[in-house]
Amino acid sequence: MKHRKILIVEDEKITALDLELTLVDLGYIVVGSAANGENAIEMAQQLKPDLVLMDIHLNTPMLGTEAARIIVEKQQLPVVFLTAYTDNRSLDAASNCLPYGYLVKPFEKREVDATIRIAFARYDADIEIRLSEQRLRLALDAAHMSVWEWQSPSTLNTTNTAQLVAVDPPGVISQPLDMLLEHIHPEDRIAVQQDVENSAHFSRIIRMRKSQQSEYRRVELFANLFLWSDNNCRVVGVAQDVDDRYKADEKLRQASAVFNCTSEGIVITDGGRKIISVNPAFEEITGYELSEVKGLDPDDFLHARRHSDQFYPRLHDEGKNFWSGEIGCSTKSGHRFPAWEHVCSVYDEVGHLTNYVFTFSDISELRRAEKNLARMAYLDALTGLGNRVHMERVLEDAMERRDDSRSSVAVLYMDLDGFKVVNDTLGHSEGDRLLQILAQRFQDSVREGDIVTRIGGDEFVIVVQDIESEVGLRKMAQKLLRAVQAPIELNRETVEVSVSIGVAISKPSIKDFDELLRAADTALFEAKHQGKNRICFYDFVLAMESGERLRIERHLKQALNNHELTVEYQPLIDIDNQRVRGAEALCRWYHPELGMIPPDRFIPIAEQSDMIINIGAWVLQESCRAIRGWLDAGIKDVSVAVNVSVRQLCDTSFCNIVAAALKKYDLDVSSLELEITESALQSNDRVRNQLDQLRTLGVRLAIDDFGTGYSSLSRLKHLPIDRVKIDRSFVKDLPNDESDIEICRAILALCKVLDMQVTAEGVENEAQLNMLRDMGCGCIQGYYFSRSLVYERFIEWAKAYNKIA
């Protein structure tokens, strides 16, 4: 008991010194002396004494009782008060601090020693109680348990009191049963209440929550009924939180159901890969029963290819603890089947390998379905050739092998000439038959290792690998040309078609298969441009032209936004009246860096994309605005001819765009004439429907460049056309070329019979003008009168020509 450290808190120095001498004489260690409460709190925290002797009334704002309360709360130190006051107020204030002694001044040495000894004995006993309570709390927390004591209800069944244990009532406050029931799930309350009323001891798993805000958890309730000596009944019980265990058991039940009911085979082995359990699906898939395979390694009978001895250690070392993949398996009867297997290693709490779990499923049907889908995905259904997907895959693989073997790869891009005519005149079934026959001819014309594919419509691509020379490739292309040119016997008649072929050979400058395919497409475009039924190889010149087209296409996307496009107007002259009857709207592109780009360079590029739709709509708006300006300037009875592309005619909103433009500028429909190329009239039924709608709207229609297409003159009577424009190619050699003279006369004669107006393009001299006038052509267009003019210049020119003031 001696040598314990004591802190003195006393504001009278003589008293503090006398007390210190007394404590030292008694064998205690005085660690310090404080004259006020603030210093006492600080010194108690720093010096950590075993006991504090505290004067209640200190000559400072903080009383000793207040300082003692803080020290007890923060340091849990025993405090003994030293005071000269014994009034009730002082005693009440001291009692609230739970002191371990109370000495009244003056005090004797033996009285001080006795009080301190008793204080230390009580304090040591309290420490033991707190440690015991702490150990009990830790044990209950570890077991997820809590102790309950309830007053039994007044309706307790007294017939069971003989079973109760008689004990002295505890010195605690009991909780009524009703309060306990409030924490129990409503569906479990009746059962608990019946247990309490009818059983001396019971156990039950219920759902309980700690408060109204918390969630219900599974709790196992153990309880006994006790009869105190005062004949009052009490229920004392233990509630153990078993929610995690309950959920774990539920998962085990679910896992057991999955193990027994799943369609996948499951094998469980020990750490040495010896089978200890299999599920029913394993027996059904393999034909083996557990008794036949127990103790065996799955590699001994199941796997057609053994997992290597290095596989299992690697499974552990890589840290994933599982592996999935396809593996061949064997049934008891020896049948082989593909299986998708998952191997998982299981470890105990200390990281020791305990088991392997194998799950596998028979994927034979899946593999068969995949093969069928692959065949469907890569084959053209009509011809049996490979499709575009197959072509791209083969070409990509060939280009990769080229990098390794330094061999060359070639692409022959083929497009049939005149196939649409066969389709339109003989029907789609005959067109399909034609494609099937040509597909077989292509197959017969190439080497065994060359791949023939149909990528859509009447387009075919041949991938030629390991090219020996360009000469051999050219011979193959010529053989293909001859194969197509041979007459083809269809069901209804014999037809003849031709093919255009673009050829590209892989070079260091062509990095991937996309570039090679684009190069062949560029060569095909050139073959078509040169007159069809021919072969064109991709070379430096074509590469330059292709680069220029890409550059134009890139800049064209911003041309509208940057106001680089403009519309110019070439006058149309009525010969009979010698007046301007209107103009043809011509789109021009003035690029700030590339200069003036001719329409024949950028219009075809625009038509290959959707840009032509936006450009065409803009030209239409500008043309209608120009008509309104000319009318307001006094130029009457004029109209504008606007060229329309196939893509615009295929746009279902085109008629609405035309109507909106006329309405916006308050124009009569006779003010607008739409020019369609002869090839556009042969495109499809959608174009024909659009023309009918435009005709219903009242807009006049004209065939531009008539005579350059494939249609015959007799087709004119079936088309909703108001005007025919004779192409400049038939005008430029007038009046010296007899053939052109006869062609122009035939067109004019037919149009007169069909009540159609005629415009002749490209008139550049008086001789041409006189001959066309003599033939009866009423409208002329060409440089003889004027080049294309901007809007303002056209007003000046037209006023002067029509002699308008």
- Domain match, 22 and 159 both: no
pLDDT of residue 109: 85
Helix (H) or strand (E) holding 796: helix 791-802
Query: What mean pLDDT is predicted for residues 605-626?
Result: 86
d(CA 562, CA 569): 21
DSSP strands (E only) in 105-253: 145-151, 165-167, 175-176, 201-208, 217-228, 233-241
Over the stretch 123-152, which tens digit does the pLDDT of each residue have? 888 888 777 766 656 555 554 555 555 554
DSSP string, 398-454: HHHHHHHH---EEEEEEEEESHHHHHHHH-HHHHHHHHHHHHHHHHHHS-TT-EEEE
- Domain match, 134 and 154 both: no
pLDDT of residue 93: 81
d(CA 572, CA 730): 18
Q: What type of residue sits at position 165?
A: V
Among residues 77, 112, 138, the one where a domain terminates is 138
- Domain match, 426 and 404 both: yes
**510 CB contacts (<8 Å, ≥6 apart)?**
504, 516, 519
- Domain match, 504 and 390 both: yes
Flag whether 23 is in a domain. yes
Is it the case that residue 171 has pLDDT exceeding 60? no
Is it the case that residue 625 has pLDDT exceeding 90? yes
Please give the backbone phi and psi of residue 402, each rounded to the nearest 5 degrees, phi first: -60, -40
H-type helices in 530-576, by residue range? 540-559
pLDDT of residue 441: 92
Where does the pLDDT of residue 156 fall: very low under 50, low under 70, confident under 90, or very high at 90 and above? very low
For the chain, how are helix, strand and coil distributed in percent, rounded to 5? 45, 25, 30
Q: How many structural domains comprise the chain? A: 5
* Mean predicted lDDT score pLDDT of the chain: 82
Flag whether 375 is in a domain. no
Among residues 215, 246, 277, the one where a domain terminates is 246
pLDDT of residue 501: 92
d(CA 62, CA 67): 7
Is it the case that residue 260 has pLDDT exceeding 80? no
- Domain match, 660 and 791 both: yes
pLDDT of residue 363: 87
Where does the pLDDT of residue 1 fall: very low under 50, low under 70, confident under 90, or very high at 90 and above? low
Max mean pLDDT among 136-150, 244-258, 694-708 falls in 694-708
Is it the case that residue 169 has pLDDT exceeding 70? no
Flag whether 373 is in a domain. no
* C-alpha distances in Å from residue 134, one per residue of 138, 360, 461: 6, 52, 86
Is it the case that residue 161 has pLDDT exceeding 50? no
326-331: long-range pairs with CB below 8 Å, 24+: 326/363, 327/303, 327/360, 328/303, 328/304, 329/286, 329/302, 329/303, 329/304, 329/360, 329/362, 330/286, 330/301, 330/302, 330/303, 330/304, 331/285, 331/286, 331/287
Flag whether 251 is in a domain. no
- Domain match, 679 and 795 both: yes
Among residues 219, 246, 273, the one where a domain terminates is 246
CATH number, position 336: 3.30.450.20
Q: Which two tokens stand for residue 148?
A: 């309950």
DSSP string, 503-537: EEE--TT--SHHHHHHHHHHHHHHHHHTTSSSEEE
Across the beta sheet with 51-55, the strand order is 29-34, 5-9, 51-55, 79-83, 101-104
Where does the pLDDT of residue 116 fall: very low under 50, low under 70, confident under 90, or very high at 90 and above? confident
Could you tell me if 243 and 219 are in contact, meaning their C-beta atoms sit under 8 angstroms apart? yes
Identify the domain containing residue 39 by its residue range.
5-138
Over the stretch 449-489, which tens digit does the pLDDT of each residue have? 889 999 888 999 999 988 877 888 888 989 999 999 889 88
H-type helices in 160-310, by residue range? 177-182, 186-198, 243-261, 280-286, 290-293, 298-301
Residue 504: other Cβ atoms inside 10 A: 27
pLDDT: which is higher, 418 or 729:
729
Over the stretch 495-534, which tens digit does the pLDDT of each residue have? 888 999 999 888 777 778 888 888 888 888 888 877 788 8
CATH number, position 460: 3.30.70.270
Please give the angle made by the CA atoms of 225, 229 and 231, to the nearest 5 degrees: 65
Helix (H) or strand (E) holding 313: helix 311-317
pLDDT of residue 389: 87
Over the stretch 265-300, which tens digit does the pLDDT of each residue have? 899 999 888 999 998 989 988 999 989 999 999 988
- Domain match, 85 and 49 both: yes
- Domain match, 232 and 269 both: no
- Domain match, 121 and 161 both: no
pLDDT of residue 642: 93
d(CA 754, CA 126): 124
CATH number, position 750: 3.20.20.450
DSSP string, 713-759: GGGGGGS--SEEEE-GGGTTTTTT-HHHHHHHHHHHHHHHHTT-EEE
pLDDT of residue 188: 86
Query: What mean pLDDT is predicted for residues 376-404?
Result: 83
Q: Which two tokens stand for residue 671?
A: 């003010």
Over the stretch 636-647, which tens digit does the pLDDT of each residue have? 888 999 998 888
Over the stretch 535-569, which tens digit does the pLDDT of each residue have? 988 876 666 666 667 777 777 788 888 888 899 99
Could you tell me if 519 and 510 are in contact, meaning their C-beta atoms sit under 8 angstroms apart? yes
- Domain match, 48 and 74 both: yes
Flag whether 553 is in a domain. no
Query: What mean pLDDT is predicted for residues 18-37?
Result: 88
Cα diameter, the chain: 154
pLDDT of residue 170: 40
- Domain match, 240 and 272 both: no
Over the stretch 38-54, which tens digit does the pLDDT of each residue have? 888 889 889 889 899 98
Flag whether 256 is in a domain. no
Is it the case that residue 710 has pLDDT exceeding 70? no
The residue among 234, 202, 200 whose CA lies nearest residue 191 is 202
d(CA 209, CA 215): 6
- Domain match, 396 and 504 both: yes
Flag whether 58 is in a domain. yes
Residue 204's beta-bridge partner residues? Answer: 221
Where does the pLDDT of residue 783 fall: very low under 50, low under 70, confident under 90, or very high at 90 and above? very high
Strands 145-151 and 175-176: parallel
Is it the case that residue 780 has pLDDT exceeding 90? yes
Over the stretch 295-335, which tens digit does the pLDDT of each residue have? 999 988 888 888 877 777 777 766 678 888 888 999 988 88
Residue 203's beta-bridge partner residues? Answer: 222
The residue among 436, 399, 404, 441 whose CA lies nearest residue 419 is 436
Could you tell me if 463 and 391 are in contact, meaning their C-beta atoms sit under 8 angstroms apart? yes
Could you tell me if 574 and 796 are in contact, meaning their C-beta atoms sit under 8 angstroms apart? no
CATH number, position 100: 3.40.50.2300
DSSP state of 184: B
Residue 66 CB burial class (10 angstroms; 0-12, 13-18, ≥19)? middle
pLDDT of residue 160: 45
Flag whether 44 is in a domain. yes
